[in-house]
Amino acid sequence: MGVDKKPGSIVHLGAGALSGVTSCVLLQPFDLVKTRLQQQGSGGRGISAITKTVQNIIMTDGARGLWRGTVPSLIRNAPGTSLYFYFLNHTKGFCLTAERRLARDPTRVKISATGNMIIGASSRAFAGFLLMPGTVLKVQYESSLYRYTGILGAVNEIWRKGGMRGFFIGAVPTAIRDAPYAGLYLLLYEAIKSQERAIAQKKNMLLAETTVTMVAGVAAGLAASYITQPFDMVKTRMQLCPQDYRTVLQSFGKIFSEESFHGFFRGISLRVLRKGIQASLVFTLYEWVLRTSAHKSNSSSNSNVPGPSARLKA
């Protein structure tokens, strides 16, 4: 009998990169329009504002303009998603070992809800900080306030205006947004998956694993996006207009005083829709790659196990 092999670190990195690139290219228009909406200090909200923004982009840059900033997004999201899943995989191992010791139960196989929240938050925060320069480049490239014509030109301009510090503008609100988002997401994602499987088992239904991950991904992504939206708005404003939005608290106060509470939720529908689809797509692709890799690895191991006649000859 072959021994089940867990996918190695390279597989986790590769699976994360594949899911990150796929979601980034497909969903870039959502991100672009959200950034354009959030850069505005005033204007309409809802479908009319989204429609007007899309029309302006197409009139100025054509349909291709909706994918402006795709390259900076790839620079940020491909390694970012890859690193996130890499850290996620290793942190899960550490957390499970710690919980087994605390509970004095070496047979424990499930991580607690608190553990999932800590794992998601710490993995996202660490990966997000390392890729912060890519985040600043991506947001400014998507904005109409900056008309960069190339990646190197954008990098040089950011460096000229702010030095190394310029690449880490908005790091605090980004961390405050990403860590709770990822923690809440992983907590909800694992809980929803467990509920889906329990319901399917209770009703004697055959539920495909892809369906389980997609439904859990969308639901968890929607909920976590709404909760962390104000920090996304503050992050975007600080990265686009650092001269006007200098600190996290000052930015919160400025947005609230000028645009009221609703100002924090500018672009929320696009972010929620994008995050829900992205989370579902990313985790579904990631887990599919891991299952495929594990299946091939186990098949290869089983084929190398000698049969009875071979063992007798030996």
pLDDT digits (tens, 9 = 90+) for 279-305: 777 777 777 777 787 777 666 655 554
- Print burial letters for 112-146: b (CB count within 10 Å at least 16), e (below 16): beebbbbbbbbbbbbbbeebbbbbbbbbbbbbbee
- Asked if 5 and 275 touch (Cβ cutoff 8 Å), the reply is no
User: Which residue ranges of the chain lie beneath pLDDT 50?
Assistant: 1-4, 305, 307-314
In the 8-state DSSP scheme, what is residue 304?
T
Whole-model pTM over 0.75 = no
| pLDDT value, residue 308 | 41
| pLDDT value, residue 311 | 38
| pLDDT value, residue 43 | 57
